[in-house]
Amino acid sequence: MSPRQCDVVVVGAGFGGLYALYELRALGLSVVVLEAGPDVGGTWFWNRYPGARCDVESVDYSYSFSPELEQEWRWTSRYATQPEILSYLRHVAERFDLRRNIQFDTRVTEAHFDDGTFRWTVRTDTGDTISSRFCVMATGCLSTAQVPDLPGKDSYRGNVYHTGTWPGPVGFEGQAVGVIGTGSSGIQVIPQVAAQAEHLYVFQRTPNFSTPANDQPLDPEIVREVKAGYAARRALAQDSPGALPLPRPTIAPDDVDADERYAVMERAWEVGGNSMQVTFKNLLIDQATNDVVAEFMRSKIRQKVKDPATAERLCPKDHPFGSKRVCKDTDYYETFNRPNVTLVDLRSEPIVALHQSGIATTKADYQLNSLVFATGFDAMTGTLLKIDILGRDGTRLVDEWDGGPQTYLGLMVAGFPNLFLVTGPGSPSVLTNMVAAIEQHIRWIARCIDDVDTRGYATIEARREAQVNWVTEANKVAEQTLYTKANSWYIGANVVGKPKVFMPYVGGFDRYRRICEEVTASGYRGFIRSPADADASALAHAAPGGRLPAGDDHGQRPNR
């Protein structure tokens, strides 16, 4: 049977895939979206553990592409819960009639480029084969759950969960529960489990910094103000390093006296959320500045946690503030004041093994009915490398990235024509408001594909030299910061054997966005478009394998 044909295959139907479909379809392209899950949502579909909530304010963690959507959707709280974000994405799918081009329950297993036809052949675990001119990997940065290979892992007979692949509603009443991991997911799930379980054991390897989310219902008056000024709010975010409408810090700790220094941090603590990250300038560059904030954060932990020994074990001391994702919590530290919660410090009593009924450490044996892995993800590269991606001359992406991911702008990889990454390694992605980063990438990709077509090219790909320069530049910027002082997932440190490369671009969303715009304006500097003699006036239809005719169901099952 000959494969289905389309212009673009998009992999994933989360924030990235849905918006890619919307933009690309608007260009008259036939698009097929392949999604492993049974519904839209991507990361926000699977991370449905109790307490899952966004750590970017809901009014900002939302699409900006449709002013009508902005005005009609009503967020109910400062930080949206996972169910609310999923409802939003379902609404987007309905409102823009996106579902007709999405095939659910379909995991992409292979994507192979053919040098002769300039087409990608995409295969799935459902036996589908699709042939497309372009392939957009909207596979998410945090979509492959990471379970550590602990001794005896398979002998444990209790219930096992991972926060990133949560099965649906789960009850812990009357149970002894263990949670391994105290990152953003652990810090959110732990208070929820503690409220249900008979006893909760928190297995902590590294304490993290967490600021209060100070979540609250959104005041309708504030919502009205935000909606009236959305355009300006989005514009401010576009010109900020984190793609967020936050003020830029202007002072260093030494610019003010001790009282004012403390007051700056106290005000930020009261506001909560991301405020602590914009207290002082150069917070992630200057160690002395960072020490001031880190010590303030530790003092707050000591105030909140009644038992001094437990408080001390919860104080992060091995990495700068913000060099790992700063968590936002609701009652996390207070949870350790509950009589039914025990903090197990894996630095002083490492895990020896899991056994049939629990976990043995070097000091004790913990009997557990359920075990929750809040142990994170094979971030940024894991999901892409699980797909067998073959580029020009049969080059495998997994081999190209053997020493760590190499991209040009986090958008394309040399040797892989017409393959686009959405918020790939080498772009600001996870260091920013992801929705804004996704929108910026999708717009860039859509424009690029349109340019390729209208100018009569068949392919575009990154020049290897441009890629090498970009990777060098991204590494140089990272090395000037304190980010590289932490064993974080940003650097692949959480996955045994993963190359230690700082993956996101740390130079700021505003700067990065301008670089991307300059590249487009320069006629795609650093990219090769072929055939070299394509005429600027050539029609898209004249290109090899040119656009399929648009039709009502053209994205679903195109007829050629």
Please choose, out of 106-114, 374-382, 408-416, 537-545, the segment that lies near ligand N01 by the rule CB under 6 A: 374-382
Please choose, out of 21-29, 30-38, 178-186, 455-463, the segment that lies near ligand N01 by the rule CB under 6 A: 178-186
Residue with tokens 């890619």: 20
Assess 376 for contact with ligand N01 (CB under 6 A): yes
Identify the residue among 185, 210, 275, 277 touching ligand N01 (CB under 6 A): 185
Q: Where are the beta strands (DSSP E) in 429-546?
A: 459-462, 527-530
Strand pairing class (4-11; 129-137): parallel
Looking at beta carbons only, is 188 or 335 nearer to ligand N01?
Answer: 188
Residue 323: what residue type? S
Strand pairing class (351-355; 358-361): antiparallel
Identify the residue among 131, 184, 335, 370 touching ligand N01 (CB under 6 A): 184
Return the SS3 of 208: coil
CB of 382 to ligand N01, least distance (A): 12
Assess 316 for contact with ligand N01 (CB under 6 A): no
Assess 186 for contact with ligand N01 (CB under 6 A): yes
Assess 354 for contact with ligand N01 (CB under 6 A): no
CB of 374 to ligand N01, least distance (A): 5
Identify the residue among 14, 17, 37, 183 touching ligand N01 (CB under 6 A): 183
Looking at beta carbons only, is 202 or 387 nearer to ligand N01?
Answer: 202
Listed residue (83, 55, 330) closest to 214, CA to CA: 330
| CA trace torsion 165, 167, 168, 169 (10° rounding) | -110
Looking at beta carbons only, is 79 or 416 nearer to ligand N01?
Answer: 79
CB of 182 to ligand N01, least distance (A): 4
Q: How far is CA 90 from the centre of its chain?
A: 19
Identify the residue among 36, 40, 92, 180 touching ligand N01 (CB under 6 A): 180
Assess 44 for contact with ligand N01 (CB under 6 A): no
Please check whether residue 84 is in contact with residue 78, taking contact to mean a CB–CB distance below 8 angstroms. no
Q: Residues 225-254: x/- map of binding to ligand N01 (CB under 6 A)?
A: ------------------------------
Please choose, out of 182-190, 245-253, 364-372, 552-560, the segment that lies near ligand N01 by the rule CB under 6 A: 182-190
The DSSP code for 179 is E
Q: Alpha-carbon distance 333 to 346, whole Å?
A: 18
Assess 374 for contact with ligand N01 (CB under 6 A): yes
Name the residue with the smallest CB distance to ligand N01.
183
Q: Alpha-carbon distance 121 to 134, whole Å?
A: 10
The count of chain residues that interact with ligand N01, using the rule CB under 6 A, is 26
Residue 356: what residue type? Q
Return the SS3 of 19: helix
Identify the residue among 182, 370, 418, 467 touching ligand N01 (CB under 6 A): 182
Q: Alpha-carbon distance 237 to 242, whole Å?
A: 7
Q: Any idea what the Cα angle at residue 159 is, between residues 157 and 161, rounded to 5°? A: 130
Assess 494 for contact with ligand N01 (CB under 6 A): yes
Structure tokens at 449: 């594909």
Assess 430 for contact with ligand N01 (CB under 6 A): yes
First-to-final CA distance of the chain = 13
Identify the residue among 11, 36, 40, 54 touching ligand N01 (CB under 6 A): 54
CB of 139 to ligand N01, least distance (A): 15
Please check whether residue 287 is in contact with residue 480, taking contact to mean a CB–CB distance below 8 angstroms. no
- Restricting to residues 136-165, name those near ligand N01 by CB under 6 A: 142, 148, 163
Assess 485 for contact with ligand N01 (CB under 6 A): no
User: What is the chain's percent helix, strand, coil content, to nearest 5?
Assistant: 35, 20, 45
Please choose, out of 50-58, 131-139, 243-251, 286-294, the segment that lies near ligand N01 by the rule CB under 6 A: 50-58
How many residues are present in the chain? Answer: 560
Sign of CA dihedral 546, 551, 556, 560: negative
CB of 87 to ligand N01, least distance (A): 17
Interface residues toward ligand N01, by CB under 6 A? 53-55, 142, 148, 163, 180-186, 188, 205-206, 325, 328, 346, 374-377, 430, 489, 494
